[in-house]
Amino acid sequence: MNATIAGPAADEAPAQPRRRDFLRLSSTRQIAAAAATAVASVTQAASTDKSDDIIYMSATKLAGLIRQRKISATDAVEAYISRQIDVNDALNAVVTNSFKRARAEAKALDEKAARGEFVGPLHGVPMTIKDSLDTEGVVSTGGTMGRQQFVPAKDATVVARVRKAGAILLGKTNTPEFTLGGLSGISTASNLLFGGSHNPYDLTRSTSGSSGGAGAIVAAGGAAFDIGSDWGGSIRGPAHNNGIAGIKPTSVRVPRTGHIVDYGGVFDLWQQLGPMARRVEDLTLITPIISGPDFRDASCAPVPWADPAKVDLKKLRVAYCADNGATGQSATDEDTKKTVRQAAKWLEGATASVKEDVPQQILLELNAARTKLTGGDAWQFYQRLADKFGSKNFSPSVKERMKSMTPITSAEYVEAWELQDLGKSRMLEWMTGYDIFICPVANKPAQPIDAEPGAGFGGPGTTWQYTGIFNSTGWPSTVVRCGSSADGKLPIGVQVIAAPWRDDLTLAVASFLESKSGGWQKPPI
C-alpha cells in the first residue's frame, strides 16, 4: 500500500506505514483529496496573459503551450538560459546555474510529451529557486561561508513539489546570509560569497531582500518563476522593487522544510514561503501545489485551498491606507500614496465598499512587540545559525549590530510575546469589518543600493512598518504592481491583505488590480 498523501503534490512516504501511521494518514485523506481537487480546478483555468515571447509570458501560459505541444520544454529552457546569460552579469541575480541538468530534464520531458504523457501542471516550465532553499544535487549556500560548497542530498519540500509538477531548475538566486544579514552599507540582496544584486529597472537601485535575486531575474525574463521566503517582507519587498507579483501565504500553509531558516522557536510563525512571478495567475497556479503538510514541518496545517476564481468581488468590503503613519522620519512618498489611492479607486464599484481606514495604534504596538522579540536575545539566534553551518566569517552588518545590543530579560521577552499575541487578536477583531485591506509595501520605490541607512526599503526602520506586521499576524498578502515613480522608471506595488486562510481573496483582488494597472512591465535591461 502506498500512503503518499503529504499534500497536493505528495512527497514520498514510508512504503509500509505502521497502523497508527495509517490511521493518522487516513484521517487526512479527505483534506488531501479536497486540496488535490482544488489544484485541478485552478490549473484548468485559461491564461489571460497576452505576451507572446517565451521569456516574458506567464508560467501558466507557457505550461499550456507546452501541453499543447506548440512549444517544447527544450525551447523554453534554451530561451531562458540565453536570457540569463545576456543579463546576469549586470544583475548578479543568479549565483549558481544548473544548465546541464536542465537541458537533460527538458529532453526527457519532451520525450514524454511526444508519447502524450505530462508529469504535472508545470511540465517543462523553467524556474529559479532562492539560494536559501535546498536543491538536490545543486549547491545551496544560503549566502553563508560555511555552506559555500554544500550540495544537499534532497530538495526542500516546496522544491520537490514544483519539480514533481514538472518545473525545471535553471539555477539559484541571490539572498543575504541566512536571508537575514546583508553587507554593511548596501541595501540590496547581498552577501560575502556573491556580492550584491542589481535592479533590472535601474542597476544602481536595490532589489530589496531577502528574495532580491529572485525578484530581479524573474522581472528581467530570466526565469518563469521563483520561490522565495518571507520573514519580514522578503517576498513582498522584492516584488515591489522589481515590479512583479508575489504572495506571502497564510502562515503555516506551506511547509518550510529544507529552508535554511525553517521552523521552530519564537519566530516559527513569521517564516513563510511563496512563489514570485510576473503575473498573478502564476501565484494562483503554484501556491496550492506547494501547500499542505509534509509531516516534517510540524506546524504546517492541512487547510484546503479555496479557488480565487470563485471569489465574488461585489461582496467584498475593502479598507485601505496610503500611509499608516508608522514610518517616522522615512515618510511614505507621494508616488506611493498616489498608487495606493488609485488602486482603491479602481475597486470602487467593483466591490461592496471601499473605505479609508487603518488600525494605526494596533500596528504600532505589533511593530514594537516584533522589534523587541527580534532583538531580545541580541541576535544570538543569528550566531547559532552561523555556528550550525560552520560560518566563522559572517555578515559584518550583523556583527556590528550584535556589538551594540544587550539581551532583555526573560520576563521582558515573554511580555513582548504576549503583546504580539494580543495585537494579533485585536487585528482580527478590527478585520471583522472588512474582507480586504490594501496598503503600501514600502514607503518608497526602489532606493539606491548605497543609500544612507533609513533612506528607503531595506534601510533600518522602513520595512516592518508595512510588511512585518503581517508576518506577526500570519495573514496572507499578495503584492502586485499598480503604479510607477513620477518619472515612470521604477515600479510601485501594493499589498492586498486578508484574514487567515483567505489567500483566495488576496489573489482575486490582486488579479483585478493587475487587469487595471497592467501589472509587470518589461524592464529596460
DSSP state letter for 121: T
The owner of cell 471601499 is 354
Q: What distance in Å separates the CA atoms of residue 380 and residue 220, rounded to the nearest whole number?
A: 37
Q: Which residues does the annotation mark as catalytic?
A: 130, 210, 234
pLDDT at 188: 94
Cell of 80: 531562458
Exposed, middle or buried, 111 (CB in 10 Å: 0-12/13-18/19+)? exposed
Neighbours of 134 (CB within 10 A): 25
Tell me which DSSP letter residue 194 carries.
T
| CA 386-387-393 angle, 5° bins | 50
Give every CB contact of residue 109 below 8 A, 6+ residues apart in sequence.
73, 119, 123, 124, 166, 168
Among residues 226, 101, 70, 421, the alpha carbon closest in space to that of 234 is found at: 226
For residue 492, give the nearest of 339, 276, 321 by alpha carbon: 339
Task: Enumerate domains of the chain plus CATH numbers.
Answer: 19-517 (3.90.1300.10)
**3-state SS string for 21-66:** HHHHHHCCHHHHHHHHHHHHHHHCCCCCCCCCCCCCCCHHHHHHHH
Q: Going by C-beta distance under 8 Å and a sequence separation of 6 or more, which residues neighbour residue 465?
A: 324, 326, 327, 363, 367, 443
DSSP 455-503: SSBTBTTSSTTTTTHHHHS---EEEEEEEE-TTS-SEEEEEEE-STT-H
pLDDT of residue 484: 98
| Cα 252 to Cα 393: distance, rounded to the nearest angstrom | 32
Tell me the residue ranges of DSSP E strands in 38-157: 94-97, 126-130
Tens of pLDDT, residue by residue, the chain (525 residues) = 333 223 334 343 333 444 344 334 444 444 444 444 444 444 457 899 999 999 999 999 999 999 999 999 999 999 999 999 999 999 999 999 999 999 999 999 999 999 999 999 999 999 999 999 999 999 999 999 999 999 999 999 999 999 999 999 999 999 999 999 988 778 899 999 999 999 999 999 999 999 999 999 999 999 999 999 999 999 999 999 999 999 999 999 999 999 999 999 999 999 999 999 999 999 999 999 999 999 999 999 999 999 999 999 999 999 999 999 876 556 899 999 999 999 999 999 999 999 999 999 999 999 999 999 999 999 999 999 999 999 999 999 899 989 999 999 999 999 999 999 999 999 999 999 999 999 999 999 999 998 765 443 344 335 568 999 999 999 999 999 999 999 999 999 999 999 999 999 999 999 999 999 999 999 999
Q: What is the pLDDT of residue 325?
A: 82
The span from the CA of 80 to the CA of 125, in Å, is 10
* pTM for the whole structure: 0.92
Position 185 scores a pLDDT of 78
Q: How many CB atoms lie within 10 A of CB 58?
A: 25
Peptide bond before residue 210 is cis, with ω within 30 degrees of 0: yes
**What does the alpha-carbon distance between residue 64 and residue 351 come to, in Å, rounded to a whole number?**
31
Q: Which grid cell sits at 268?
A: 516559527
Q: SS3 helix, strand, coil % of the chain, rounded to 5?
A: 40, 15, 45
Whole-Å CA distances, 341 to 254, 348, 446: 32, 11, 19
